[in-house]
Amino acid sequence: MLNGLIIAVYARFSSANQKDTSIDDQVRLCRDFIDRSGGHVDNANVLTDYSVSAASIARAGFERLLLLIERRAIGVVVTESADRLTRDLGDADRLWKLCAYYNVRLICVADGIDSARDGARMAFRFKAMMSDEYLVDLSNKTARGLEGTALRGHCTGGLPFGYCSRALFEKSQRDPSGYEILVDEEKAPLVRRIFELYASGQSYLSIARLLNGEKIPPPRASTRRASRGWCDTTIREMLSNAAYVGQWSFGKKKWRKVPGTNTRRYQKQPAERVKSFERPHLRIVDDELWRRVQERRQGIAAKYASKDRATPRAATGLPGRRTSYPFSGLLRCGACGAIMQVIGGSTCRYYRCADAHKRGTCSNRAPIREPVITGLLLAELRAALLSLGGVNYARTRLAEKQAELAEERGAARRAAEKSLTAREAEIARLVRFIATTDDDTALAPVRSALADAQRELERTRAAAQMTAEPPVHIELPSDDEIRATVFELDRLLTANATAARELLRQAFKDGRIDLHPEADGAYRIEAVMLPLALARPLIRRVETKKPRSAEPNEAFVYNHGCAGANRSISTSEDLGFPYRFVVPLPLDRRRLPETWRRRSVN
């Protein structure tokens, strides 16, 4: 029975070709089951994911479901079948353990799985294993089918710029049997022009700017992933693509999902796994032009190749490439939103808008010296980190949150005590019935109900005991400790710019700093700073009463767990000191100014 329990319903479908009514049908099935079981579900607790694979838990509706479970905001999860929740064996096991820990009942209607029954875990794991194997088998069959399509000379997916496809139909068939690859006669002249421009001495960048200046649509201009224009890397990839001389291949790359996400990245495959095909009828560029282009590319690559380019990248333990510039990747152009790219020679480095530099599509062409912007931003960060106002703000927010959570804890404790009393009364009633009844037929279901009630009593008693435990109080670092953190940041900036960049990324909201060009040629800098993010190691260190693991980007400074609530205060959200600032840079960017005007804005 589901009477009196807070219920959540989860529904999902994965293919964009499916109809939205699939979700409605799943929800209707779950609602019918809930009604028959005496329960009720609010519309706010009906969580859905449209056209999202269950191979990953990175789904908005599913993440919301996990959050409700961890906050103990629901008592039952109802879904059509286990494969609606996840098709990954590891994720399924973690979900089951999470529901068991937070005393959340998991019901899969079509599978007949109910976590309150004996043997339900084995059935759930078996279904999860079958779903996991289904994805592996589907991937293998898809790869086999694509290889067969390539061997028949048909299109297997995206085509290089300059080519198009045409559907092929057999007699009395409604669906095409394949797609024939054809030369796009409208775009082929542009491909030959790009090759000729490069062979005549033009660079990747100059060709991209020329095409953007002529308003020529770039590749994928009419697709959902339309680019902002031609860029140097697009030209480079086109000039290295042997398909333009009739040499096609299949299987160079294999796309895989990054575990735990829906992000797909490719991995290059060994040469023995690559299938090569000669398709002279698809040639766009002649052999002589191809030879001239490749000789020039190889000559330039040999001239500018770094001696240590072949050496493996050093393992830094941090995401991103190695860098000598701590704000690389954080600075954004305020005019178009593109990355501010480091350019220049060995004597001086500048930041410039990447779209203005590589595509010519942005009007912001003002450069700024790398030492100038780095010095200004680091000075602002030190000032905010050492400011007494920033630390006091965080301490005030901590006190407010502790008071709020203490009030919630009291309400949860009273609710747990009330539930415990009700469970004990129910068990006493069942025991009296058994003691006064001799009919074995009538006693069988009562004994089963008594066993269930005793299990629920143990769960309720454990939850009530959690409310009796004192909360964990964590204090922020002292002023001296924060000052020491600043010195550590200075040392890290000198010793390891890549590691320093990762810390700085966490110190600014969304890892973003916008540089807005002004009419006088200066830049206005806007960002939301979270300086206490740099003090996360100190905050973790003082958490000694009740350790709790944390994600790398979140440091818990106060934890409050009980039957009614399970919430945390983190430096990134509740204790962050949002500091928005505007710094008009001087017109003379040749040296770092001693002082500058700073104005805080709300």
Cα distance between residue 504 and residue 530, in whole Å: 10
CA 6, CA 45: separation in Å to the nearest integer?
9
Of 77, 68, 104, nearest in space to 8 by CA = 77
- Degrees, nearest 5: CA angle 574-483-401: 20
> How many angstroms separate the most distant Cα atoms in the chain?
103
Domain 7-142, second-level architecture:
3-Layer(aba) Sandwich (3.40)
DSSP conformation letters of 11-61: EEE--TTS-THHHHHHHHHHHHHHHHTT----GGGEEEEES--TTSS--HH
The DSSP string of 535-567 is: GHHHHHHT--SS-----TT--EEEEEESSS-EE
What is the predicted pLDDT for the residue at 393? 61
**Contact indicator for 218, 227 with CB cutoff of 8 Å:** yes
The structure tokens listed for 47 are 């969580």
Q: Which pLDDT does position 593 carry in this prediction?
A: 43
- Three-state DSSP string of 242-291: HHHHCEEEECCEEEEECCCCCCEEEEECCHHHCEEEECHHHCCCCHHHHH
Residue segments in the chain with a per-residue pLDDT below the cut of 50: 307-320, 539-574, 587-602
Handedness of CA 420, 421, 423, 427 (dihedral sign): positive
CATH superfamily assigned to domain 163-304: Putative Large Serine Recombinase; Chain B, Domain 2 (3.90.1750.20)
Per-residue pLDDT reduced to its tens digit, 394-403 = 566 656 666 7
Specify the pTM: 0.49
Residue 373, amino acid = I
Q: How far apart are CA 506 and CA 489, in angstroms?
A: 13
Please tell me the distance from the alpha carbon of residue 261 to that of residue 265, in angstroms, as a whole number: 11
